[in-house]
Amino acid sequence: MKILVCISHVPDTTSKINFTDGDTKFDTNGVQFVINPNDEFGLTRAMWFKEKQGAVVHVVNVGGPETEPTLRKALAIGADEAIRVNTPATDGFSVAKQLANVVKEGGYNLVIAGRESIDYNGGMMPGILAKLTGSNFVNTCIGLEVDGDKATVIREIDGGKETLKTSLPLVVGGQKGIVEESDLRIPNMRGIMQARTKPLTVKEPVDASAETATVSFEKPAPKGQVKLVDNVDQLIDLLHNEAKVI
């Protein structure tokens, strides 16, 4: 089995976020970037297939040279080879077209992507990729087993979960549950050293125009001031006369 894991290069959730150029561009200064959490869950599941079934695992990212440390971390976790498509990730459609070309050229029969990236939260790329490659597609995946060319997939639905049986080629949009947080792997020194010698191929992009564009960003409204009270009578008075909720 040949697996391709899609890796997004996203800001760490603890980073302080700012915007430039009239709130039209994300300010990357001082921001730490990491593997998109949903993608890391998928990568960890792919490593299980490598260790238990002898699968070959490649990782891919659409982005500039600044994303290579993130790909190297994926190699240190255990992926065999990395691919970077040398173009900025502008929107879900254009990214899917770049990845579809990689999938077709590489002959991958299982593609694991995160259901969405935590920076733009578009959630559109895995479905578009499945359509462009003629693959079956299961989103919000929380369980995945493969036996030959057949797959059993569990996905999260409103109020529960659903078990599906399908066949390869398959694209899944993974999330927490496909593995648990306790299963995630921290690269050890041996993995980090090996990652330096593993192939990282840079591919030039195919022609793919963006279908959407970011107009502007806006931060959430700041939290309002609070009053601390230490007795019930004062609390009731404030709720009645100031907040007017009782």
Q: How many CA atoms lie within 13 A of 207 on its CB side?
A: 0
Was domain 2-220 assigned CATH 3.40.50.620? yes
Instruction: Break the chain into its structural domains and give their ranges.
Output: 2-220
Mean pLDDT of 172-197: 94
pLDDT digits over 211-243, tens only? 888 899 988 888 888 888 888 989 898 888 888
Which percentage of the chain shows pLDDT scores above 70?
Answer: 100
Mean pLDDT of 206-212: 89
Q: Report the distance separating Cα 186 and Cα 183, nearest Å.
A: 10
Q: Report the distance separating Cα 223 and Cα 96, nearest Å.
A: 37
Kindly provide the residue ranges of all beta strands, DSSP E only, lying in 110-189, ordered along the sequence.
110-114, 136-147, 150-157, 160-167, 170-174
| Residue 221: strand, helix, or coil | coil
pTM for this model (two decimals): 0.88
233 Cα distance to chain centroid:
50
Q: What is the pLDDT of residue 45?
A: 97
pLDDT top residue among 151 and 245: 151
